[in-house]
Amino acid sequence: MSKHWKDAASIIICSRTSFYSHNNSCQTNKFPNPNYSAPKPLDYKILTLKRSIKSSFMPETYVFPGGKVDEADLSMKWMDLFKEIGIGDLFKTWASKNQEFGNSLFQNPAKYEIPKLLSLRITAIRETFEECGLLLCKRKNTFNKDDSNWASYLSGHEILQWQRRVQNDPSEFFNLCKHFECYPDVLALQAWRVWLTPTHRMQRFNTAFFLTTLDQRPPTIVDELEATEVRWDTSEKLLELSQSGRISVPIPQIYELTKIKNFRTINSLMEFVFNKNNESCAVWMSIHKKSDEGIVAILPGDDTYPENPDFTAVVPVERINGSFEGLRRACHRLNRMENYDGNKWEVVVNIDSGI
């Protein structure tokens, strides 16, 4: 299967921005309506990066940090590092979970020397550091001293000097951890969903999306190679910018931002991700069809989604007749995205998609 796509990993990084008080009122009326209930403002923002115009995949779009798996992320040296700090045994159970994660599309025993649930997290953390200088790592001497669910990060001028070194050679990420006596904070990354690039695209990635939370916004610096801008925005703001055409956001990011915005506080989001099954994530691949109004991206759970989709066959975008509204009326279960104009996608869902 590996010849059809490359494995990749990405992180949805949410940073707390304020402490919301239930006493805060959004009403300005001198005589407030007792039946009025203003939506609670979001108390966290999400990190996105603008991909370079030179990027071979989705240039100039705003995405979550991440990238493709490198051989260095699969090395047994990582297991030795985690054993040194006493948490190597925690990952033994992850090896048995490989078949459950992403419907086993990541499975390749000859390639993965360590559990893919571990190596994919290492990939996501390494790529995030390369792209924006955010190092999601913990000091070795802090293990067992901090039982917080917040992710940890390290910063400083000396650490940033390693950014270009890791960009040029991903194996330097392990050397960075040895030098600063730290380790990737893999336990803070919660499995969210797996997205596979549609079959009509020539360049394809099978990407594991993780989610993590920070109790404060960390310093970042763009690499100017893969990314040209760093943004911290609420999910609502990012969706608003996308709908207005001011920024271009790919399908997976739009869908996830739409789901995440339902969690008005970062604490409610954290509670959800820590209670869900974090070792079982089905693969999601959108199937695109061109209607009379525009493009429809069909997602799992929709009535028109195939029961057994072919992940490997190269299938062109199918032409179908009908308006968006007419196509919706023909179905009971909807889980799709509709594109009226360029990169402006709208999520249409009336089912529980699992998140």
Give me the pLDDT at residue 36, please: 44
Residue 71: helix, strand or coil by DSSP?
helix
- Phi/psi of residue 233, each to 5°? -140, 160
Determine contact, residues 114/294, Cβ cutoff 8 Å.
no
C-alpha pair distances (Å), 131 with each of 50, 96, 230, 262? 10, 32, 9, 28
Give me the pLDDT at residue 145, please: 58
Q: What angle do CA 161, 163, 166 make, to 5 degrees?
A: 120
Find where tokens 């929709």 sit.
302
| 53/280 Cα distance (integer angstroms) | 35
Ordered per-residue pLDDT tens for the chain, 355 residues: 456 899 999 999 999 997 544 433 333 344 445 444 556 789 999 999 999 888 878 889 999 999 999 999 999 999 999 988 887 777 766 665 555 565 556 655 555 578 888 999 999 999 999 999 999 999 988 766 566 789 999 999 999 999 999 999 999 999 999 999 999 999 999 999 999 999 998 899 999 999 999 999 999 998 778 889 999 999 999 999 999 989 999 999 999 999 999 999 999 999 998 887 655 678 899 999 999 999 999 999 999 999 999 999 888 899 999 999 999 999 999 999 999 877 789 999 999 877 6
Give me the pLDDT at residue 21, please: 40
Half-sphere exposure of residue 75: CA atoms within 13 angstroms, side-chain side: 14
Residue 285 contacts by C-beta under 8 Å, 6 or more apart in sequence? 195, 196, 197, 198, 199, 309, 311
Determine contact, residues 258/249, Cβ cutoff 8 Å.
no
Closest by Cα among 355, 299, 292, 304 to 329: 304
pTM of the model: 0.89
3-state helix, strand, coil in the chain (%, to 5): 30, 25, 50
Which secondary structure element, helix H or strand E, spans residue 348, and what is its range?
strand 344-349
| 228/298 Cα distance (integer angstroms) | 31
Which secondary structure element, helix H or strand E, spans residue 241, and what is its range?
helix 235-243
In the chain, domain spans: 6-19+38-284, 286-350
Half-sphere exposure of residue 11: CA atoms within 13 angstroms, side-chain side: 31
- Topology of domain 6-19+38-284, CATH: Nucleoside Triphosphate Pyrophosphohydrolase (3.90.79)
Give me the pLDDT at residue 4, please: 86
Rg (alpha carbons) of the chain, rounded to whole number: 21
Q: Where on the phi/psi map is residue 133: left (φ > 0), alpha (ψ -120 to 50), or beta?
A: left
